[in-house]
Amino acid sequence: MIIERPGEFESYGKLRIYRPVKVLELDGTGADSDPNTLVYSHAMLADTALRTAIVVPVKDEELVKLRGVVQAIPHPSTVIVVSASRREPTDVYRDEVDMLSEIHRRTGKRIIATWQRDPAWGEALKGTPLEPLLGEDGLVRYGKGEGMLLGALLAYSMGLDYLGLIDSDNFSPGSVLEYSLTYYAGFLAVESELSMVRLKWPYKGKLESSEIPYLRKRGRVSTVTNEYLNAAISRRRGLETIIVETANSGEHALTTKLAVRMPWAGGYAVEPYQLVSLLERCWLTLEPPCDDLEGAVEVLQVETLSPHIHSERGEEHIAKMIGVSLASIYWSRLATEDLREAIREKVVEAGLQDVPSMMIYPPPGETWPNRIVKAFESNSELYTVLG
């Protein structure tokens, strides 16, 4: 793979955010790195792949999409499917596990599957700092962020160094391969053990409910969240910035070390909150992950070659996503009073009554993941380890 060499960046205390770089070639065999580019061989990428878990959150998606995503993830990486799919009246989780077993049988691919609502998670999390993950029914709450956090606990406890996230509602397996390769290359391009790779797309589009294909340059939610997050930083800094181009990056990866040192937000606030909390903790104050850190936390933004073709939800879903995304800024120490007012107006304009509340879970820390996962594994009847 060839990517542009990360260059220009902005520093926010101990946080360094790079201007987006681009993927230049998917296979750079025979090319040489130069001052502007980085070339990674198959062997280099495979070594990083082996140290990576790719977490795939899924909730009631067509099996064919999940299959394409899982099969497109490079063989050396461990795939962790975190499913919040229904079990009644039909057992979709069971179908997912059977399909994953069949992939494993034919390819030998290492795949882990867990059901987000497994009572064994409830038991394992009770009495730990992550107990707030549990709802009143004693089960892990629904939400993409909640599912990703379970995936992070599993990846960390397996001793893997990197954690990549790839949504399961992707119609294009080729793009999934590119996202994975880009994560590996991104981690090779940065120096810090606490780093994050966030993807942006040249185009994104919908296939469902559209008669005329139309590929948008930017997502409807990302455009808004990027604008408000940049405005929050600009106001605090007294200097305008447009550095953030990946506020809602559903496809992103982080070192597992960073994953356990950061707080996590629930639902779809998870991605913008990662940047918000890093800015709060590494710039405005010095708290984990930045409290005892000599170097910087690095955030690399990369534009892929592939467009993102996924299931597109309706207007109500978009309004909710704008609400929770802006809530992550609204409720943070980053937001000034005038920006809070502007966010409130934007959320109402999007069709919501008010800025929603949000769930924030504390950093898992370095010892809890192993303890929680051990308790979970010994108790679960639904946990599936293939390979």
Residues lying near ligand GDD in the complex (CB under 6 A): 57-59, 61, 82-84, 116, 142-144, 147, 167-169, 219, 221-222, 248, 250, 268, 271, 310-311, 313, 317, 321
Instruction: Give the residue among 107, 43, 27 at the shortest CA–CA distance from 70.
Output: 107
Per DSSP, the residues of 234-291 read HHHHTS-----S-TT-SSEEEEHHHHHHS-EE-GGGHHHHHHHHHHIIIIIS--TTST
**Choice between 118 and 271, CB closer to ligand GDD:** 271
Q: Which is nearer to ligand GDD, 49 or 309 (CB)?
A: 309
Closest CA to 146 of 163, 127, 131: 131
Measured from the CB of residue 213, what is the shortest distance to ligand GDD in angstroms?
A: 18
Residue pointed to by tokens 């070339």: 39
Instruction: Provide the minimum distance between the beta carbon of 256 and ligand GDD in the complex, in angstroms, as a whole number.
Output: 18
User: What are phi and psi for residue 385, nearest 5 degrees?
Assistant: -115, 115
Beta carbon of residue 33, minimum distance to ligand GDD (angstroms, whole number) = 31
Match 């629930």 to its residue by tokens.
Answer: 266
List % helix, strand, coil for the chain (3-state, nearest 5).
Answer: 40, 20, 40
Least Cα distance to 304 among 10, 38, 3 occurs for: 3
For residues 40 and 228, which CB has a smaller minimum distance to ligand GDD in the complex?
Answer: 228
Cβ closest to ligand GDD, residue 15 vs residue 221: 221
Neighbours of 130 (CB within 10 A): 25
Closest distance between ligand GDD and the C-beta of residue 143, in Å?
Answer: 5
**159 near 51, Cβ under 8 Å?**
no
**Closer CB to ligand GDD, 206 or 235, in the complex:** 206
State which residue, 221 or 259, has the beta carbon closest to ligand GDD.
221
- What is the C-alpha to C-alpha distance for residues 184 and 47, in angstroms, rounded to an integer? 9
Neighbours of 290 (CB within 10 A): 20
If the CB atoms of residues 54 and 321 are measured against ligand GDD, the closer one turns out to be 321
> For residue 301, what is the enclosing H or E element?
strand 297-303
Q: Which residue is nearest to ligand GDD (CB)?
A: 250
CB of 90 to ligand GDD, least distance (A): 16
What is the nearest approach in angstroms of ligand GDD to the Cβ of residue 246? Answer: 9
Nearest residue (CB) to ligand GDD, 92 versus 290: 92
Nearest approach, Cβ of residue 234 and ligand GDD (Å): 22
Distance between CA atoms of residues 293 and 279, nearest Å: 15
Distance in Å, CB of 47 to ligand GDD, minimum: 28
